[in-house]
Chains A and B, each alone.
Chain A
Amino acid sequence: MNELFTNVDWADIWQATLDTFYMVGGSLVFTILLGLPLGVLLFLTGKRQLLEQAAFYNLLSFVVNVLRSVPFIILLIVMIPVTVLITGTSLGVAGAIPPLVVGATPFFARLVETALREVDRGIIEAAQSMGATTRQIVISALLPEALPGIIAGITVTAITLVSYAAMSGVIGGGGLGDLAIRYGYQRFQTDVMIVTVVLLLIIVQVLQMVGDKLVIHFSRR
């Protein structure tokens, strides 16, 4: 084993894997906390919805599109001053989380909006006919009904965050991507590159599998 991977320091790899988990996990939590309400807001203010607000929706939609169209690598660099403001550093795990959240939130919000649109309009009508308020309709009817779609959205977002987190190695973000760039790419240590990529592949596979299982569980069909 060690003959095959002469350049691989397993302790480094282990630390980098943990860092990747922290970055993905941490940014996923904030992405959900911010993206879920944003997605609900996009849905509710959309055309023919409960709180239809064409101007507000168009503005929100535009901002989301702008953020989504900035390449993540550019966002990483542009965000540096803001990141320093929030976390005190632009390096390591903490420095990677703000740009990851800003990059993933608009993406996740759109997925939430789409999942909510998939809910049968009849469900909203039924809840209204029971005398539900808009808040009750969202919490007691729309979100439970859209849960499988939202979980699928979280899965896709988590996987996107894995690849974004790897990219953050470029600005010294830490994690498996950082190892791959510093050793695999810059020092031509192909074995390190292979190990990191395989580990990333395993993480993505596991995330997708768990996500799919949860979607099936909550689909109740």
Chain B
Amino acid sequence: MIEFKNIHKSYQVAGKAIPALHDTNLTVEQGEVFGVIGHSGAGKSTLLRLINLLERPSGGQLLVDGEDITRLDSAGLRVLRRKIGMIFQHFNLLSSKTVADNVALPMKLAGIYSKAEIKARVAELLERVGLSDQARKYPAQLSGGQKQRVGIARALACRPKILLCDEATSALDPQTTQSVLQLLGDINQELGLTIVMITHEMDAIRRVCDRVAVLDSGRIVEMGPVAEVFLHPQHPTSRRFVFESENQDEQELHEDFRHVPGHILRLTFHGEATYTPLLGTVARETGVDYSILAGRIDRIKDVPYGQLTIALIGGNYEEALKRFNAADVHVEVVR
């Protein structure tokens, strides 16, 4: 469990304190995948690096498993860091070492493992990330996705409890991104590993995270379960991220429908409700006609969701609205 208690962080630039993170409170539960989304410069990189003290907080308490890590001495800090794996946007593999030696490095540095233990663990990890046949290669001979898999194997070498992901998929193409996210999700399930990932891509959050915090100018402006934040974003920054990921612009959407007659509703389905034939039933029973203006059916982690913008014409509109409201669906009257 990771707890930020009134943590703030500022950097000294030319004698002036520039705040990077304002009073921040958050709790990451054991075994969850926690996402932090924000634009570059929002402070997410700082937030992540506080957890393994690559950055020191300027104030506040930072607890990992109930222990205030800011009080650790340098030996204690090294032990802590062994329990916290980290992967990076640009992988940060040693180009001078083979894949196997890269994965072995954290264990060698720890100095508490025998050669046989290291060898067995490296083989096991490479098997897990699907790179057993690349063990003798150098990072330069691998693709981006393979490099990140090596990064993941390396981060897991000392059996950490927490994995920090610093824009881990931002340098990868969409397909590779998906497979790396899949791997992270699987590892979370298999090992019960707590994952904290920072990203500027809502899609990465949607695929693997349980909860998300939206960071804007060093402040958490929204935090909650991914489905909640993704389907009903409250803060303008959160809305922007969600619309960005759907390749649409809120403003544009409204203007496009200016010439559409009738009432416009946005329906949001989540979970099993996504697959119920609600629209047809309501239309038949209340005599309204509907047309679908925009829509998307997808998954948040493993739960299906749908979001439809529809226009209703004729029939009994009041009754239809009542029926929608009564159903397991979130209704937003656009016009």
Chain A residue numbers with a CB within 8 Å of B92 are: 120, 122-123, 125-126
Chain A residue numbers with a CB within 8 Å of B164 are: 129
Q: Are A131 and B81 in contact (CB under 8 A)?
A: yes
Per-residue interface assignment for chain A, residues 22 to 43, with 1 indicating a CB less than 8 Å from any chain B CB and 0 otherwise:
0000000000000000000000
A144-B138 Cα distance, complex, nearest whole Å: 13
Query: Could you tell me the distance in whole angstroms from the C-beta of B241 to the nearest C-beta in chain A?
Result: 26
Q: Are A130 and B96 in contact (CB under 8 A)?
A: no
Per-residue interface assignment for chain B, residues 131 to 143, with 1 indicating a CB less than 8 Å from any chain A CB and 0 otherwise:
0000000111000
What is the predominant secondary structure among interface residues of chain A facing chain B?
helix
Question: Within 8 Å of chain B (Cβ to Cβ): is A128?
Answer: yes
Segment from B101-109, B184-192, B211-219, B302-310 that makes contact with A: B101-109
Question: Within 8 Å of chain B (Cβ to Cβ): is A187?
Answer: no
Q: Which residues of A138-153 have CB atoms within 8 Å of chain B's CB atoms?
A: 140-141, 144-145, 147
With A122-B90, A220-B138 in contact, do A127 and B96 touch (Cβ < 8 Å)? no
Query: Could you tell me the distance in whole angstroms from the C-beta of B181 to the nearest C-beta in chain A?
Result: 21
Q: Are A125 and B106 in contact (CB under 8 A)?
A: no
Q: Are A131 and B78 in contact (CB under 8 A)?
A: yes
With A140-B108, A140-B109, A220-B140 in contact, do A129 and B94 touch (Cβ < 8 Å)? no
Chain A residue numbers with a CB within 8 Å of B90 are: 120, 122
Question: Within 8 Å of chain A (Cβ to Cβ): is B52?
Answer: yes
Q: Are B96 and A147 in contact (CB under 8 A)?
A: yes
With A145-B96, A220-B96, A220-B138 in contact, do A122 and B88 touch (Cβ < 8 Å)? yes
With A145-B94, A145-B95, A147-B96 in contact, do A128 and B140 touch (Cβ < 8 Å)? no
Per-residue interface assignment for chain B, residues 104 to 123, with 1 indicating a CB less than 8 Å from any chain A CB and 0 otherwise:
01101110000000000000
Which B residue's beta carbon lies closest to that of A137?
B109
Chain A residue numbers with a CB within 8 Å of B97 are: 144
Q: Are A221 and B81 in contact (CB under 8 A)?
A: no
Which A residue's beta carbon lies closest to that of B53?
A128
Chain B residue numbers with a CB within 8 Å of A122 are: 88, 90, 92
Q: Are A131 and B79 in contact (CB under 8 A)?
A: yes
Which B residue's beta carbon lies closest to that of A144?
B96
Question: Within 8 Å of chain B (Cβ to Cβ): is A49?
Answer: no
Chain A residue numbers with a CB within 8 Å of B86 are: 126, 129
Which A residue's beta carbon lies closest to that of B89?
A122
Query: Could you tell me the distance in whole angstroms from the C-beta of B36 to the nearest C-beta in chain A?
Result: 17
Q: Which residues of A101-139 have CB atoms within 8 Å of chain B's CB atoms?
A: 120, 122-123, 125-133, 136
Question: Within 8 Å of chain A (Cβ to Cβ): is B84?
Answer: yes
Query: Could you tell me the distance in whole angstroms from the C-beta of B121 to the nearest C-beta in chain A?
Result: 14
Which A residue's beta carbon lies closest to that of B81?
A131
Question: Of B93, B109, B138, B139, which is within 8 A of A130 by CB?
Answer: B109
Chain B residue numbers with a CB within 8 Å of A144 are: 94, 96-97
Which B residue's beta carbon lies closest to that of A126?
B92
Q: Are B88 and A130 in contact (CB under 8 A)?
A: no
Q: Are B95 and A130 in contact (CB under 8 A)?
A: no
Question: Within 8 Å of chain B (Cβ to Cβ): is A218?
Answer: yes
Chain A residue numbers with a CB within 8 Å of B109 are: 127, 130-132, 136, 140
A218-B140 Cα distance, complex, nearest whole Å: 12
Question: Within 8 Å of chain A (Cβ to Cβ): is B326?
Answer: no
Chain A residue numbers with a CB within 8 Å of B77 are: 131
A123-B95 Cα distance, complex, nearest whole Å: 10
Question: Within 8 Å of chain A (Cβ to Cβ): is B17?
Answer: no
Question: Within 8 Å of chain A (Cβ to Cβ): is B8?
Answer: no
Chain A residue numbers with a CB within 8 Å of B106 are: 130-131
Which B residue's beta carbon lies closest to that of A146?
B96
Q: Are B94 and A141 in contact (CB under 8 A)?
A: yes
Query: Could you tell me the distance in whole angstroms from the C-beta of A130 to the nearest C-beta in chain B?
Result: 4
Q: Are A133 and B95 in contact (CB under 8 A)?
A: no
Q: Are A125 and B140 in contact (CB under 8 A)?
A: no
Question: Within 8 Å of chain A (Cβ to Cβ): is B82?
Answer: yes
Chain B residue numbers with a CB within 8 Å of A141 are: 94, 105
Chain B residue numbers with a CB within 8 Å of A220 are: 95-96, 138-140
Q: Are A221 and B95 in contact (CB under 8 A)?
A: yes
Query: Could you tell me the distance in whole angstroms from the C-beta of A58 to the nearest C-beta in chain B?
Result: 19
Q: Are A130 and B105 in contact (CB under 8 A)?
A: yes
Q: Are A131 and B82 in contact (CB under 8 A)?
A: yes
A128-B74 Cα distance, complex, nearest whole Å: 12
Question: Within 8 Å of chain A (Cβ to Cβ): is B54?
Answer: yes
A204-B79 Cα distance, complex, nearest whole Å: 50
A131-B52 Cα distance, complex, nearest whole Å: 9
Q: Which residues of A10-62 have CB atoms within 8 Å of chain B's CB atoms?
A: none
Chain A residue numbers with a CB within 8 Å of B110 are: 130-131
A144-B97 Cα distance, complex, nearest whole Å: 8
Question: Of A130, A140, A145, which is within 8 A of B81 by CB?
Answer: A130
Q: Assuming A126-B86, A141-B105, what are 6 further A-B pairs, CB within 8 angstroms?
A: A125-B54, A128-B81, A129-B52, A129-B85, A133-B74, A221-B140
A-B contact pairs, 5 of them (CB 8 A): A131-B80, A132-B109, A219-B95, A220-B95, A221-B95
9 tightest A-B contacts by CB? A131-B81, A131-B78, A122-B92, A126-B92, A129-B86, A130-B106, A144-B96, A220-B138, A221-B140
- The residues of A with any CB-CB pair to B shorter than 8 Å are 120, 122-123, 125-133, 136, 140-141, 144-145, 147, 218-221
